[in-house]
Chains A and B, each alone.
Chain A
Amino acid sequence: MIPVAFDYQRPQTLDEAVALLATRGEDATVLAGGHSLLPVMKLRMAAPELVIDIGRLAELRHLRVEGDEIAIGAATRYRDLVTSTVLAAECALLPAVAATVGDPQVRHRGTLGGAIAHGDPAGDMPAAILALDGTVVLQGPNGRRSVPVAEFYTGLFSTVREPDELVVEIRVPRTGATGWAYEKFTRRSNDWAIVAVAVATMPSGAVNVAMVNMAGTPIRATATEAALAEGKSIVDAAALAAEGTNPPADTHGTPEYRRHLAQVLTRRALQTAIA
C-alpha cells in the first residue's frame, strides 16, 4: 500500500518546525516516528499535502528531572522510555507501560508525543499520562501553553491542539519507583488493549486509576478513586471501576465485557500497586 503523494520537509530546528506549521498547519501533518501516521496514510484514511518530520529534532528528545516533575520531549521513543534510568527511579509506571506498546520494532520508532497527539482510545500512553495527572506542552506561533492531559482529549482521535500547534513536551510528576501497576488485556501480545488499567500513587498519597478503551478518550475511574479515598477496600473500590462508563462495542467485546474487564483489571492493578 502506498500513500497519496505528499511533500516532505524535515526542519532542522524546533523554531523552523513551528514556523512551517504556522503557515501550512491546515494541510500539513506532523510525523515523528510515523507508527500511527504512516499506516493511516497507507490506508489512505489520511492524505496530508505536507508531512513535517520532527522525528530527529534533538530539542524534542530530552528526558530530565525538572524540580518536582519529569520533562519528556515529544519525540522521545518508547524504547528510550523503556531503557531510561531516570524513569526507572522517578516514574516507573511509564517505562512499564511503554514496554507493552506494539513490539520491539514499533518501540524503536514510535514516540510518546506521537501517541499523545494521535489520541487512539486504545492507546497505552494517553491513559498512563492521565493516571499521572500529566501535562501536555504545546508550542505554536504565539509561544507555549500547558494543558493538563485531563483536558487535552475532546473525543475520538480529537484534542485541543490547534492545527498550528506542535506537541513539544509531556510533563509528569515524580511518582517514584513503586506504587504503580499497568494491567493490559489483549488477545495476542502485540495487540491493542481491549481494556487496560493504569494505577499511579501520587506524591500526595492519592491513588489515581486511568482506563484504556473504556470511552472515546482515556478516562479516570472516578468512583473507584473516591472509594479508595474514603478508605474502602480494593475489592470494593475496584467493583466501581466501570461506574458511569459507556465503553465501545467492537469485534473484541461488548460494552458489558469491557465493563467486566475494567473491574477485574482495576482490582489486579490496585492489588499490585498498593496492597
Chain B
Amino acid sequence: MKVEINVNGTATTADVEPRTLLVHYLRDNLGLKATNIGCDTTSCGACTVLLDGESVKSCTVLAAQADGLSVTTMEGLSDDGTLSHPVTAAFRQEHGLQCGFCTPGMVMAAVSLIEENPDLTEADVRSGLEGNLCRCTGYHNIVRAVLVAAGKDPDA
C-alpha cells in the first residue's frame, strides 16, 4: 500500500506492506537512524517519535496508521544537524546520557512532555518519562536535562 507521511517537515511516500512498522519506515525506507529499536515490545521507549506532535512508540504504530499525518524524529529537531533545540542542548549541558542508546527516545518523550506541561516539577518529569528506560540507569542527569529544557532550576 502507498503511504504518505510528512517526516520532519518533508513529504515522504513509499509503497509498503501494511505490516510495516513506523520505526522500520523511518529507519529502512527513509534512512533516519536516530530512532532506535530497543525492546521492540512497547516497553523501553527507545523508538519514541512524535506523531502529530505527541510522543508515540514507533515500534507499536503501523506506517499505515501514520499515513497522512506528521512525524518528527530527533533529526527533525534542528534544521542544521546541531544541538540547537532546547531539549538536545539541555541534554548536552547536563550530560543527560551515558551510552546514548535511549537518548533519542528520551529527547522526543521530553519534547512531548514539555509541550503538554510547561510547568514541570521533578516528580512530573520522573513520572512523565516512565515509558523510557535507560539501561545505564543515568536517570539523574536525564531528569536534570529535562528540567533545564523546561526552564526550571534542577537544583531548586
Give the residues in chain B near A190, CB-CB below 8 Å.
43, 130-131
B104 beta carbon closer than 8 Å to chain A: no
CB closest chain-A residue, reference B21: A2
Give the residues in chain A near B62, CB-CB below 8 Å.
8, 31, 34, 38
A4 beta carbon closer than 8 Å to chain B: yes
Give the residues in chain B near A109, CB-CB below 8 Å.
56-57, 60-61
A11 CB → nearest B CB, Å: 13
Known: A1-B40, A53-B65. A103 touches B54 (CB 8 A): no
B64, B116, B131: the one within 8 Å of A106 (CB): B131
Give the residues in chain B near A103, CB-CB below 8 Å.
45, 130-132
The docked-state distance in angstroms from the alpha carbon of A3 to that of B130 is 26
The docked-state distance in angstroms from the alpha carbon of A1 to that of B37 is 10
A210 beta carbon closer than 8 Å to chain B: no
Give the residues in chain B near A105, CB-CB below 8 Å.
42, 45, 48, 55-57, 109, 131
Give the residues in chain A near B116, CB-CB below 8 Å.
104
B38 beta carbon closer than 8 Å to chain A: no
B18, B21, B51: the one within 8 Å of A108 (CB): B51
The residues in B between 78 and 113 inclusive whose CB is less than 8 angstroms from any CB of A are: 109, 112-113
Known: A1-B40, A108-B55. A102 touches B131 (CB 8 A): yes
The docked-state distance in angstroms from the alpha carbon of A102 to that of B109 is 14
Chain B contact surface mostly: mixed
CB closest chain-B residue, reference A190: B130
Interface flags for B1-30 (1: CB within 8 Å of A; 0: not) read: 100000000000000011101001000000
Known: A39-B41, A39-B42. A104 touches B131 (CB 8 A): yes
Report which residue of A4, A31, A104 has the largest number of chain B beta carbons within 10 angstroms of its beta carbon.
A104
B128 beta carbon closer than 8 Å to chain A: yes
B127 beta carbon closer than 8 Å to chain A: yes
CB closest chain-A residue, reference B58: A105
Give the residues in chain A near B65, CB-CB below 8 Å.
31, 34, 53, 55
A7 beta carbon closer than 8 Å to chain B: yes
CB closest chain-B residue, reference A109: B56
B19 CB → nearest A CB, Å: 5
Give the residues in chain B near A3, CB-CB below 8 Å.
19
Interface flags for A190-207 (1: CB within 8 Å of B; 0: not) read: 100000000000000000
A257 beta carbon closer than 8 Å to chain B: no
The docked-state distance in angstroms from the alpha carbon of A92 to that of B51 is 28
The docked-state distance in angstroms from the alpha carbon of A176 to that of B21 is 41
Give the residues in chain A near B61, CB-CB below 8 Å.
34, 38, 109
Asked if A8 and B1 sit within 8 Å, CB to CB, the answer is yes
The docked-state distance in angstroms from the alpha carbon of A19 to that of B117 is 41
Asked if A79 and B18 sit within 8 Å, CB to CB, the answer is no
The residues in A between 3 and 39 inclusive whose CB is less than 8 angstroms from any CB of B are: 3-8, 10, 31, 34-35, 38-39
A233 beta carbon closer than 8 Å to chain B: no
Give the residues in chain B near A34, CB-CB below 8 Å.
60-62, 65
Known: A34-B61, A190-B130. A8 touches B56 (CB 8 A): no
Give the residues in chain A near B130, CB-CB below 8 Å.
103-104, 189-190
Q: What are some 7 contacts across the A-B interface (CB < 8 A)?
A: A8-B1, A39-B41, A53-B64, A102-B42, A106-B42, A108-B51, A190-B131
| Known contacts A5-B18, A34-B61, then 18 further A-B pairs from the complex at CB < 8 Å, ordered by chain A residue | A4-B19, A6-B18, A34-B60, A34-B62, A35-B42, A38-B60, A38-B62, A39-B41, A53-B64, A53-B65, A103-B131, A104-B116, A104-B128, A105-B42, A105-B57, A105-B109, A106-B57, A108-B51
User: B interface vs A, CB < 8 Å?
Assistant: 1, 17-19, 21, 24, 40-43, 45, 48, 51, 54-57, 60-62, 64-65, 67, 109, 112-113, 116, 127-128, 130-132
